[in-house]
Structure 1
Amino acid sequence: MASIPGNCLLRGVVITALLSLLMDTTRAITIEVIPKLPTPNSDVTLKVKGVSGIIRSFSWYNGSNPSASNQILNYIPSLQPPQTKGHMYFPQAEGLPNGSLLIKDFVKKFEGVYTVQIQADSPLQASVSVTMSVSLSAWMDGAHGIGVQLIPQYPVVSQSVTLSVTGVTGTIRQFSWYKGSSADTNNQIFSVIPSANSVTKGPQYFPRANWLPNGSLQISGLVPTDQGNYTVLMYTAESTTQDTVSLPVYEPVSSSGISTDNKEPQENQPVTLTCSANNAEQILWSKNGVPLPPGLTLSADNRTLTFPRISRSDTGQYRCEASNAVSKIISDPYTLTVNYGPENLKIKGTLQVTSGYSTSLECSADSVPAPTYQWKFNGTNLESQTNTLYIQQATPESAGNYTCIGTNSVTKLSRETSVYVSVNDYNPSDNPIGPGPIAGIAIAIILVIALVAALIFLLGIRRRHSSSKQEKKSTENGHTSAQGIEMDESTLQYSSIDFSAQRGLQRNEHVVPDNTVYAEVRRQ
């Protein structure tokens, strides 16, 4: 910490409120700074007032725009431990059960804007999100203090960082850097006299550490072991001051996804989902692309999501987002399927069928996964193993009890239901022509049509044959009649078709004897 005279006071306090409302009621909270005029290195409480209902959770942020990157801490009273660290966490910050923030050993570098978000139940059992901002400014009366700023603010492994000293007045005579929170000789990295360009290496010296003329410390090629507290002791012509800064070294987040302890969960069983992530400072969960609904159980570090008694409504795609100040990664979706059933087994179909006709029965059930089906007729297993049973051309023997059995391969549960199918005798008054006679008549009509077509075809061939024969005889005999009568080019042939029920179809063909007299008729 910087050595600051005790008479330095925290002068300015500016409070601004950003209020977000749910429901139609107006609610307001305020933040009170206690004490109003704190002395340096004293404890400061940012007390939240005006919260109604039970506080479910709250978060404090460094800045006026709350986000994961500037979160100081998150506090869930129902968890043990209730507090989890955010990206901007510092050891002097502590959340209190009433939503307030305690800052121990308040010094100049803690100046800034602080925002609190509170999730609380209203008397109407509604949730309200409230955002408050409080700006703290500290000025010193006649005193000079130094501070150390990290450049960049979020150092990353294998990169460089500068621990830049600010607020130095006067000529720097000497400065020393230490690895730790105190200016102990055993912790010294090096001591520098800028005017003489003299460097004395200490027990904690390492080659990647370099000094700058303004008293700053530069570390290149950061490794995870570089993180920790660093203290600078500054000697000027006017004073001797020191300050300590905490150096984090961030590594990119890596994730192996979501795993579970129950790969085929059944309804009402306990299930735990675990987000596997390295170097993550914050983990957020989502279901089907939106934040988790209230009432789910998360571990203190948000790495595990537990369902004490899972239900079918918990089915969905889950993702976890792991992040730190320098990187973020979102897992592949994990599809959580809750197995249950079979339930509500039903049989649909025609339960009264006329003899000679066909029907079907369809079985359905609520089940995940879909059940397998087995049918029984009067207690005897049938071959059908689908949800539909077909009864072809029912007979009186088809009447009886039909049972559908549904079995879930995961839950190992089975359910069954039965219906009675009755078969009515055929009644001619209901249908004068039954299905059998209708089929016979249709076949007979088709045969007759085919027979007639064949006869017409044969007669056509016969007529063409006779016509050719007559033409030949006419040519040989010449013209035999003086009356000028000319016969037709074809000679009519007669045939008789006789149908006999006993002998079947017979064809008797009578041909007119070839004694026709031919005559030629000439025009005058």
Structure 2
Amino acid sequence: MAARALCCALTLLVFGGVCSGQELQLPSRVNGATRENVVFKPSRLPSGSYDGFTWNFKTFTIISGIGSSSLPTAPYRDRISLNMSTLALELRNLTENDSGVYTLSITRTAVTYTAETTLEVFEPVSNVTITSSPTDLIEFNSTVRLVCSASGSSLSFLWLNGSSEVTPGDRVLLTNGNSTLIVFNVSRHEGGPYTCEASNAISTHMSEPLTLTINYGPDSAFVKAAPSEPIYSSGSELTLTCSAESSPAAEYQWAVDGSELSDVGQKLVLPNIQSNDSGSYTCIAHNTKTLRYSTSEPLNITVLEKISGVRLIGPSELIIEGNSTNLTCQASGMVVSAEWTKDSQKLSPSSSVIFSPNNRSVTINPVQPKDSGEYRCTLSNPVSSGFASYTMIVNYGPDGVHVTGPSEVEVEGNLVLSCRADSVPEPVYEWQFNGTKTGVTTATFSVQQVNFTYSGNYTCITWNNVTRREASGSHMLAVKAKGTLSGQGGPLSGGAIAGIVIGILLGVAGVTGLIVYLKKRPKASSKGDRQNGVTQNGGEHELNYAEVQHVRNNQSVVNMGGPSTQTRQGTPAMVRANRGAAPNQGMKPTPPTEVMYSEVKK
């Protein structure tokens, strides 16, 4: 019997759950504003058609219907509208009394589906204001109470000081649902502006800002001078101004060296000051509201004469790289500051640039080439300044000797080598070829129409007469036959092409004339013909390759394949005349001036 009852109960729970809304759903909560409208719209309806429906508020029926017809009850007849396809109910002109639970029931084939939603109607927020007591406050002494009032229902409150939210703390208290703000022992930074934000579920409204009057100070009394330097020349005018943080504005009394003056007010004017006006000046600020005082830090005033006769003294001997040197700046009058520049840029201390404690002298150790330039020291006080300059020349080198020029040239071509070295002053030059002095003592070594004997090692030796130092650099040169330089084969110029064409035409003419001549010449024996390089074949004479080249080039044929040089035309003397020099005879370049290296160094 008990089992049967349990089974029936479970069945009722299952079917009851389905019928009570598993296929019918409404929003769980709806908010509305008084005098506004609200719509209850099912988010899910049972599938298929239904036989009837009913909308209820609490236990009272709002509207019901059977099939496609519906009938609202009398109290809601002019306040509701119903969408028959979605069963969405609109309720107009809300009041706070409309808050409560709304139920929709749908009947289909003897099964009832039910869902409910809760409506809460709010009065919109309005008329948000702040009141304060008291209104005239003393910093660190007064406590202020701010009250926020507003119209509306279910209100909540938020306080802002400027753009920052006010939260409870050691001296801040929020009461009465946060509508009341109490600040104990107010500070000047808590003067506002304060705003109160009142809100409920449907609206938010902000009050007008309220700023508190908080009397404070005086604090941080401070004296400044115009002009602002603390040292002045006699006869000038000095104005001292005192300021302090104070509300309301403070009153001021002046004192010098601890003794009060008869002068009062924010400014103290001292015309035509003299040395006896020097001293320590202070001002005393007083707030008549807070009854507090503040005394400034003393401002020391010194009256001085102008700076004159500035001199920058440097070493009298020549400055050589690696040594130490000193620059000293001197002047008449009292110097407050000294500044140094090099080539118009500020000179800063470093491992090699050392300033004296008063900045009046600079020691550079060791001196480097980059230290050359114009040095300037500027001495100043608040009333005057003066400067002096010194041009430093650092003698160094020679360093980084570098010889530039071609590494390969054609025979009969021109040779130009240049020697460069980092050196002050300009070094003395000497050129050597394969370890032998040439007598050339200029930075440039040049030769016209070189021959094969110019191949070798060229050395440029440099000497600095001040630093007594020497440095050298070498350059290898190879003289090669014409047309054999590496990198040849590029495009020819128009003039070169024209020269080649003319040479070919002249060569063809010469070969033609030689052939005609040989044809007319009497036949010789085969032995003689072989000795002359001509063979007979069918009564015709043929030129060998060397003879054709001889006619075409009209010059000697040189065998470059071995150590010796042979010619098939003319004597060695004729070859030398044609070449411009004698190869393989150890001949050295002849410079225009014979200056020995030992003589230069002297």
* TM-score category, normalised to shorter length: 0.3 to 0.5
- TM-score scaled by structure 2? 0.36
- Structure number, greater radius of gyration: 2
